[in-house]
């Protein structure tokens, strides 16, 4: 666990701030690759994932920057960051982890950001510009007032500047951008679920290979909650079985039974809780396992995933 202190707080845009952290212990901070995030352990007990974005600096400069939008439907994380974290505030954070890696070998990178989904992509943009690789960054935003990183947009050379898309009609623009599938181009997308659906569906309809489409969600998909039903889990090492009722997660039931499963986001986004599965068919509801990993049925995220079979046997 890292101990960080806020060195700088900047109002990036309407409802969006950036915070620069350094080590509170004056140690060097672990380096990270574009797309990485850290789990911020907030003093109010919440743990939230924030992408590390450091436009204009190198990833090894000993400083972490996060950019946070105060969510209207905040569950307490972004609201706390906005209201309580000021210069001098201390927080704990995990070492960076990367579930959204940039593939350096691709000939071209197409970065598609919806709203605050810009945060991992602005870091990718910085790395690609430094490496002089071919890329385009399209930043879909509701208004200029809500568009972050204005300084960077104004100072970047035109060829590297994010294309700010303010004019609505994201579906039409996305369809235009993705109309010609190219196996040498990789797409990276991050944003709210409606935007993600638009990009992922359009890419699929136009025949983009799924291996060329990389995605990071920052909110859980709740579209399947109506299909919940009771099932059982069995702990392989003890044989003990527990019922998982509608409305409770595998993690919650097993925690009450005294099992210690590490969790962080509890929304299927971060991958902290991934657990090996020995038998049964999971109903994967996370956004962190790849389609290939899900297809093996060898692991699941007990914080949110459920079961298609009546029983899941966990390697615990």
Angle at which helix 170-177 crosses helix 193-205, to 10 degrees, equals 40
- Give Rg (Cα) of the chain: 20
Minimal distance in Å, beta carbon 269 to ligand FES? 6
> How do strand 231-235 and strand 275-279 relate by DSSP bridges?
unpaired
Those residues whose C-beta lies under 8 Å from the C-beta of residue 161, and which sit 6 or more positions away, are: 153
Contact flags string 142-181 toward ligand FES, x per CB under 6 A: ----------------------------------------
Residue 203 CB, nearest approach to ligand FES (Å)? 24
Least separation in angstroms between CB 289 and ligand FES: 9
Q: How near is the Cβ of 216 to ligand FES at its closest, in Å?
A: 13
Strands 282-283 and 306-307 turn out to be: antiparallel
Closest listed residue to residue 55, CA positions, set 162, 145, 132, 133: 162
- Least separation, in Å, of the C-beta of 194 and ligand FES? 22
Q: 125 or 285, CB closer to ligand FES?
A: 285
DSSP string over 231-299:
EEEEETTT--EEEE-TT--HHHHHHHTT-----SSSSSSS-TT-EEEEES-EE---SSS-HHHHHHTSE
Site string (276-315) toward ligand FES, x via CB under 6 A: ----------x-x------------x-x------------
Minimum CB distance to ligand FES smaller for 185 or for 272: 272
We find the least distance from the C-beta atom of residue 102 to ligand FES, in angstroms, to be 21
Q: Tell me the CA distances in angstroms from 311 to 242, 251, 268, one per residue in order.
A: 10, 15, 20
Which is closer to ligand FES, CB of 91 or CB of 300? 300
Which residues in 235-254 contact ligand FES (CB under 6 A)?
none
Closest CB to ligand FES among residues 26, 260 = 260
Q: DSSP state, 205?
A: H
Q: Cα-flanking dihedrals φ and ψ of residue 196, to 5°?
A: -60, -45
**Closest CB to ligand FES among 49 and 212?**
49
HSE of 59 in the Cβ direction (CA atoms, 13 Å)?
21
Interface characters, 252-281, with ligand FES (x: CB under 6 A): -----------xxxx-xxxxxx--------
- Nearer to ligand FES by C-beta: 102 or 265? 265
For 139, the 3-state DSSP assignment is strand
Structure tokens at 127: 């790395």
Task: Collapse the DSSP code of 128 into the 3-class scheme (helix H, G, I; strand E, B; otherwise coil) and give the result.
Answer: helix
Least gap, CB of 167 to ligand FES (angstroms): 35
Nearer to ligand FES, 16 or 250 (CB): 250
Counting residues that bind ligand FES (by CB under 6 A) gives: 14
Contact 163, 139 (CB under 8 A): yes
Closest CB 95 distance from ligand FES, rounded Å = 16
Binding interface with ligand FES (CB under 6 A): 263-266, 268-273, 286, 288, 301, 303
């Amino acid at each position: 666990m890292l101990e960080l202190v806020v060195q700088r707080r900047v109002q990036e845009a309407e409802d969006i701030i950036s915070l620069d952290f350094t080590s509170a212990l004056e140690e060097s901070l672990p380096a990270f690759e574009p797309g990485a995030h850290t789990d911020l352990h907030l003093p109010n007990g919440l743990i939230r994932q924030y992408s590390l974005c450091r436009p204009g600096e190198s990833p090894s400069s000993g400083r972490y920057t996060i950019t946070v939008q105060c969510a209207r439907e905040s569950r307490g994380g972004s609201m706390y960051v906005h209201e309580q974290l000021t210069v001098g505030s201390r927080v704990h954070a995990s070492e960076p982890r990367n579930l959204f890696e940039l593939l350096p070998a691709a000939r071209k990178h197409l970065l598609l950001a919806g709203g605050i989904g810009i945060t991992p992509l602005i870091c990718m943009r910085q790395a690609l510009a430094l490496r002089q690789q071919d890329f385009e960054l399209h930043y879909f935003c509701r208004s200029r007032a809500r568009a972050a990183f204005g300084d960077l947009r104004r100072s970047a050379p035109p060829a590297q500047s994010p294309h700010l898309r303010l004019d609505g009609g994201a579906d039409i623009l996305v369809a235009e951008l993705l109309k010609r599938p190219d196996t040498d181009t990789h797409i990276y997308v991050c944003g709210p679920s409606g935007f993600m659906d638009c990009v992922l569906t359009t890419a699929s309809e136009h025949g983009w290979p799924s291996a060329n489409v990389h995605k990071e969600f920052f909110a859980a998909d709740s579209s399947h909650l109506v299909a919940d039903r009771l099932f059982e889990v069995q702990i392989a090492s003890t044989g003990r079985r527990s019922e998982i009722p509608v409305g409770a997660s595998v993690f919650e039931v097993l925690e009450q039974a005294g099992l210690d499963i590490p969790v962080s986001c509890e929304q299927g986004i971060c991958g902290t809780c991934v657990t090996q599965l020995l038998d049964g068919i999971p109903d994967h509801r996370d956004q962190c396992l790849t389609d290939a990993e899900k297809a093996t049925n060898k692991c699941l995220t007990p914080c949110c995933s459920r079961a298609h079979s009546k029983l899941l046997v966990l390697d615990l």
